[in-house]
Amino acid sequence: MQKILSFTIVGLLILGGLGAFAVSSNEEKLDSDNNNEKLDFSHTIFAEFGTSTGCPPCKYAHGALKNIYASGSYPFYFVTLINDKNSKAYSRLKNDLNCAATPTVYFDGGYKVRVGAGSVSSAQSIYEGLINSCGNRAASNIDISLGVTWLGDAKMDIDVRVDNNEATEYTGHIRVYVTEISSSMGWRDKDGYPYAFPFLDFAFNKDIAINAGSKWQESRTWYGNSNGYGSITENNIMVFAVVFNSERRQGYADPPSRNPFNAYYVDEATAATPGSEGENKPPETPLQPDGPNDGKVGIKYTFSSSTTDPDDDQIFYQFHWGGSKYSDWLGPHPSGETVTAKYMWKEPGDYEVRIKAKDNNLDEETDWSDPIAVHIEDGPILEIDEIKGGLFRISATIKNTGGLDAEDVEWEISLDGGFVLLGRETTGEISSIPSGEEKTITSGIILGFGQSKITVKAEINKGPEDEQDKTAFVLPFFIKI
């Protein structure tokens, strides 16, 4: 996690890595249920993802949210609030949601809150459980309609309507988030991926009151130039309309009881892109993947491909690595942009790598591409296990699970964050790790204080490698993981 705090007398600790906020008419209505026929949810779930470009674990939260959205398995949307790039995102996180650290994901206005992320897979599992909890709670019976018309020159008309299907007056607050589908501003996570659905500005941010059986409706023109976003393009815009109930609840940005804030739960959400006409068409079948035809187990190899979309929609891709192994849906990527992915085989053999695509409207998938044949030979496989703290030191185990001995293994134990006076990085080399065996490595003496990210790396030059992270607390005499 990256802490979000104002600079105070503890500035040394914050500068040491705990982090701080940087103050800084063709219409298409998307399916507001986002594949809702699969689940009997009370409403469409909406999440606000608090992050910053300098936050290491935020890449895991980002990847998990993208995977869930791309799967189409839930009626679910999310926006990305990047606190060090957008002052309105900073204000929403700091002033409204009392955000304590990044990454933090607020589901349904704070009905559920999750701080931190250790890996994409673990974060995704946790988030899916929270989405299910949100979908099973009671929500007011309202509907939202949203239309977006692109006027050119980074300008668009936004029309929104809320229908009250309740037998009594409905009161709430509507926020309409203008976002890019994939950041063109250079706003990227620590893995270098452009942030998905990065928040730019509110088109609407106001209280509403609707009589029983009536509707609220309003239109306005949003100007990208006047908000500093004159370079945005029509095919890379997504607008989200979200209605929050007016009933104030007690929320905690650092559950279960720290960083309290006033939570207003989401009753409904929808989204729209501007300027699309007619029935959506799927992308073309992607090109045969480009990559190596030969390799060894334990080494990550890079494969790439691309395709185009007839509607110029954003595109998601999925690789098939052979057998039962598939990548997550990767993206979104602009039409025509090359997608790359890395994969490591753990068993020798002959494999075929294919790729398919779908557009950001989550419609029909393409056929699989022509395959590229890959022959994988046996070799060593490095796996880092059992990262442990202790008195002044950190230790870890490096295993060789491959079929051949691992020779000349270089390793590193490093700390990122916290106030570390001594031992921020330790390196070494192991001459050999026989097949099926393991070696223990130990850092030098560590002196410091504060929360830190521990990274352990092991690699063979031009060979297999592994890297694992753990969150640790550096105490005066002990490192606790």
Residue 2's pLDDT is: 43
What pLDDT, in 10s, does the model give residues 310-355? 878 889 999 999 999 999 899 888 899 999 999 999 999 999 999 9
Residue 476's pLDDT is: 84
Name the E strands within 8-154: 45-51, 76-82, 101-102, 104-107, 112-115, 142-152
Quote the CA–CA distance of 425 and 427 in Å, as a whole number: 7
Dihedrals phi, psi of 38, to nearest 5 degrees: -75, -20
Sheet strands side by side (includes 155-164): 142-152, 155-164, 215-223
User: Which parts of 6-119 fold into alpha helices (H)?
Assistant: 11-13, 58-71, 87-91
> Beta 315-322 vs 349-359: how paired, if at all?
antiparallel
Residue 362's pLDDT is: 60
Residue 458's pLDDT is: 96
Residue 418's pLDDT is: 86
HEC letters along 143-198: EEEEEEEEEECCEEEEEEEEEECCCCCEEEEEEEEEEECECCCCCECCCCCECECE
Q: How far is CA 189 from CA 63, 66, 317, in A?
A: 10, 12, 19
Quote the CA–CA distance of 282 and 356 in Å, as a whole number: 11
Quote the CA–CA distance of 68 and 160 in Å, as a whole number: 26
Residue 275's pLDDT is: 66
Which residues, given as ranges, of the chain have pLDDT below 70? Answer: 1-39, 275-280, 362-363
Residue 279's pLDDT is: 57
120 contacts 96 by C-beta, under 8 angstroms: no
Of 473, 471, 368, the C-alpha closest to 420 is 473
DSSP letter assigned to residue 118: S
Quote the CA–CA distance of 472 and 479 in Å, as a whole number: 7
Residue located via tokens 């929808």: 270
DSSP letter assigned to residue 273: -
pTM: 0.62
Domains along the sequence of the chain with CATH: 2-272 (2.60.40.10), 294-377 (2.60.40.10), 382-480 (2.60.40.10)
**Tokens encoding 87:** 């002052």
